[in-house]
Amino acid sequence: MSVTQQQVLDCLARVRSPRGVALTEAKVLSPVTVNDGKVFLSINVEAGEARAWESVRAQAEGALRALPGVSAAMVALTAERRPGAPADARSRGATGVAPAAAHRPPHSPAGSPMARQAEIPGIAAVIAVASGKGGVGKSTTALNLALGLRDLGLKVGLLDADIYGPSVPRLAGINQKPELDDARKMIPVDRFGLKVMSIGFLVEEDTAMIWRGPMVMSAITQMLRDVAWGTLDLLVVDMPPGTGDAQLTLAQNVPLKGAIIISTPQDLSLIDARRGLAMFTKVNVPVLGIIENMSYFQCPHCGTRSDIFGHGGARHEARRLGVPFLGEIPLHMAIRETSDAGNPVVVSAPDGPHAAAYRAIAAAVRDRLAGVTAT
């Protein structure tokens, strides 16, 4: 039997808050989402109080996970600076927790945005798949690219951080929820040999959630650090689309080895892609390259190719901007159908031309990463 909203609230009422009252009385809770055993909520406090609340967050999450009928629970802590509060509060990052100098990567000079990032134990490299706007096929590409990297013999994880529309569970046909390990950490779902984690395991893809920047960051930080990823060669992060504050904070706070930008050939999307590029450059994350998706139309019947969007824009733009062009993926029914049926093309037609295209891009990404790591 799945847990009810009332049972969740009763459980939270047993957690004490630093304000001396029960957590449910402290006026800090977001609405609670309870969905088929999955529980999600956030605790919203001011940045100056965040430290005092971290243990409450952990306690609340632990209590919920121990509740019968709860299959997964996430409690995010969001800390916002009051207008006029010292800038210092903000420099602690959206979770309100000051960055630990001891975790600073050795190559990151203090004061650079990279200095804020802490490496994730067990994960050799984290890369972001981003797009300037939604609907360009970012998630489809992230998933198939992760599978292409898997085919190269790498141990790969996929973190669906597209908090505004977490589509990876649907695209990968995942119906089960993550289980908990002995430490009550969520274990990513094993699918097609990938370790997959998504906020979509906790909330429905189309749940209209009003996510504010700090809440996004907090939820994603937890998915990065409080998940039993095990050992991975590479974690692919499917970023939320766009280049707003939430994306910038994410790019700044996740220890990224590099970023990949997905663009369609249309001009508008290329303008957006340029913004994406500028965003990563601003936070010193190397752009591994641009992938042109829906590059040309390939007729599923006769195989004829039509450049309906004026193909080649991304390649040209990449050259102009001095970033690598990683490859192109055609607009093809098979990609849409397989992806929407939860059986991505690299898995459903591993010997076909599309799988080969994704694998070629994966190899280019691996080589670029090796170059980035070597320098």
Q: List interacting residues with ligand ADP (CB under 6 A).
A: 131, 134-140, 167, 241, 293-294, 329, 331-332, 335-336, 339-340
DSSP secondary structure of 102-120:
GGS-TTS-TTSGGGG----
Closer of 211 and 372 to ligand ADP (Cβ) = 211
By the 8 A CB rule, do 69 and 3 touch?
yes
Closer of 104 and 359 to ligand ADP (Cβ) = 359
Q: Using alpha carbons only, what angle is made at residue 109 by residues 108 and 113, rounded to the nearest 5 degrees?
A: 70
Phi-psi region of 361 (alpha: psi -120 to 50; beta: other; left: phi over 0): alpha
Least Cβ distance, residue 144 to ligand ADP (angstroms): 9
Least Cβ distance, residue 197 to ligand ADP (angstroms): 17
Closer of 37 and 312 to ligand ADP (Cβ) = 312
What is the β-pairing status of strands 33-35 and 234-238?
unpaired
By the 8 A CB rule, do 8 and 38 touch?
no
Task: Return d(Cα 40, Cα 17) in angstroms, integer.
Answer: 18
Closer of 24 and 131 to ligand ADP (Cβ) = 131
Least Cβ distance, residue 177 to ligand ADP (angstroms): 21
Closer of 80 and 328 to ligand ADP (Cβ) = 328
Closer of 24 and 243 to ligand ADP (Cβ) = 243
Q: Is the torsion defined by CA of 320, 326, 327, 331 positive or negative?
A: negative
Residue with the shortest CB distance to ligand ADP: 137
Least Cβ distance, residue 353 to ligand ADP (angstroms): 12
Least Cβ distance, residue 223 to ligand ADP (angstroms): 17
By the 8 A CB rule, do 229 and 120 touch?
yes
Give pairs for 332-337: CB < 8 Å, separation 24+.
Answer: 332/297, 332/298, 332/300, 333/300, 334/300, 335/137, 335/140, 335/144
Q: With b meaning 16 or more CB within 10 Å and e meaning fewer, what string describes 351-361?
A: eeebbebbbeb
By the 8 A CB rule, do 109 and 214 touch?
no
Tokens of 290: 């641009």
Least Cβ distance, residue 246 to ligand ADP (angstroms): 15
Closer of 245 and 340 to ligand ADP (Cβ) = 340
How would you write 31-79 as a 3-class SS string?
CCEEECCEEEEEEEEEHHHHHHHHHHHHHHHHHHHCCCCCCEEEEEEEE
Closer of 95 and 339 to ligand ADP (Cβ) = 339
Least Cβ distance, residue 260 to ligand ADP (angstroms): 13
Least Cβ distance, residue 358 to ligand ADP (angstroms): 10
